[in-house]
Copies of this chain bind each other. A is one copy, B any other.
Amino acid sequence: MPSISTRGNNAHTSPIRKLSPFADAAKKAGKKVYHLNIGQPDILTPAHAIQRVRETDIHILAYSPSNGYSPYRQKLPNYYQKYGIEVVPDDILVTNGASEGIYFAMLACLDRGQTVLATEPLYANYVGFAEMADVQIKPVTTYLSDAFALPSVEDFARAITPDVKAILLCNPNNPTGAVYSEKMLRELAELALERDIYLMIDEVYREFCYGDTPFFSALNLPGMEQHVVVFDSISKRYSACGARVGAVVTRNRDMLTTINKYAETRLSPPTYGQLLAEALIETEDAYFTAVKEEYQHRRDVLYRRLSQMEGVRCYCPDGAFYVFAELPIDHCEHFCRWLLEDFSLDNQTVMLAPGNGFYASPDKGLREVRFAYVLNTNDLNAAMDCLEAALTAYRNVMGTARNESGNVPETTSIA
């Protein structure tokens, strides 16, 4: 039997999805599982756009151009204008979600073995993209005690060794919810310019800022035309994750020309999704206002509930729809699996994303988990009831196990 590749055996597994088999088993056994592990919102996709796709007269579902369906690319600048971002269609290449854009940009900007600086905890799949592109991720750690604020420019400067070709940030941040201010971004831009490295910014949560810091796009950093590339997606903005439509936006034409080679190799982004995306550009501001209010309300509920739980450390996040919290546990993977396999409250349980999977540094985040507040407040409260009961039950189980063996029970790796 021919062997699986070593890189395949060692490949990154998604902390967001890897517990799925245990969730499936729990559901099969009749348990209700509240999914706070994945950023799949329960918010409705704007109905006018779904209707528009429905009414589109399709006879041949053809490829779109590799860089995207032209009517969509032509209209996208109108969306960006709402954020004061001036771009033209030629600055945009449509991708299969933001995921593909990040991967393509790594290929286009970095040679094998070169390094991207990224704050951690980070969106876990960055690690997967980096592996696929054979580039290194060098983490610059952010801390819960500091509400995961952006490290100082000095911290970044110290981390920039000659192999570093780019800084990769997510703003607003997944998984921490931190929002980075214009001032901080300008300082970082100055550093990137001085060291002549790329600034790669994932802005897929642009719409979701609840605090005092207004969203500031890296595309509005002056003098950074050749250095900034922004990754975007319609997944979260319009609750259209299944469309698989994202974009790479940059004024660096060489970069976009190079990315287009990779885009041609995979032929085209999905046509249906792009038809939807085109219609979504006309989404009214009222939709965003309502959605943002709803998320802010959920954040408040989640933050309040978590704050009231014994031994839980958290903070009130400013953006996106995640809270990254510390729980009174020893190993998040063990706890998250235990929640699915061994716990229930009124035949219900909750699925969380283990925090260690969001760190590039080993052995960090073992007591942390990510909560995605993508459920309505009733479900969110029910999920928090589960968690609260679970933490007590888990403490007892672990205490008993500890007393019996004199040791912490062995934590199970589910990699």
Contacts and interface: CB of A to CB of B under 8 A. Distances in A.
A141 to B, nearest CB: 22
A8 B258 contact: yes
Contact of A265 (B45, B50, B129): B129
A250 to B, nearest CB: 12
A231 to B, nearest CB: 13
A243 B270 contact: yes
A16 B63 CA distance: 13
A29 interface: no
A379 to B, nearest CB: 14
A7 B111 contact: yes
A20 B65 contact: yes
A170 to B, nearest CB: 15
Contacts of A2: 109, 165-166, 196-198, 226-227
- Of A4, A99, A254, which is in contact with the most chain B CB atoms at under 10 Å from its CB? A4
Contacts of A5: 107-111, 114, 258
B58 A262 contact: no
B269 A107 contact: no
A60 interface: yes
Interface string A240-257: 111110000000101100
A402 interface: no
Contacts of A165: 2
Interface in A39-59: 40-45, 47, 50, 53-54, 58-59
Copies in the complex: 2
A261 B8 contact: yes
Contact of A9 (B7, B17, B258): B258
Contacts of A264: 13-14, 16-18, 128
Interface stretch (A271-279, A308-316, A360-368, A406-414): A271-279
Given A2-B198, A96-B266, A272-B273, A61 B40 contact: no
Contacts of A100: 266
A260 B58 CA distance: 32
Interface string A269-308: 1111100100000000000000000000000000000000
A319 interface: no
A381 interface: no
Contact of A61 (B62, B114, B243, B254): B243
A112 interface: yes
- Of A6, A14, A38, A66, which is in contact with the most chain B CB atoms at under 10 Å from its CB? A14
A255 to B, nearest CB: 6
A13 B276 CA distance: 29
B242 A61 contact: yes
Given A111-B6, A266-B97, A1 B226 contact: yes
Given A44-B60, A132-B262, 10 more contacts: A1-B226, A1-B252, A5-B114, A8-B261, A14-B265, A16-B264, A96-B244, A112-B134, A243-B272, A270-B270
29 contacts: A1-B252, A2-B165, A2-B166, A4-B109, A5-B107, A5-B108, A8-B258, A8-B261, A9-B258, A11-B262, A14-B261, A17-B66, A17-B264, A40-B63, A44-B59, A44-B60, A45-B61, A53-B272, A61-B241, A61-B242, A61-B276, A103-B266, A125-B265, A128-B261, A132-B265, A244-B267, A244-B270, A270-B270, A272-B273
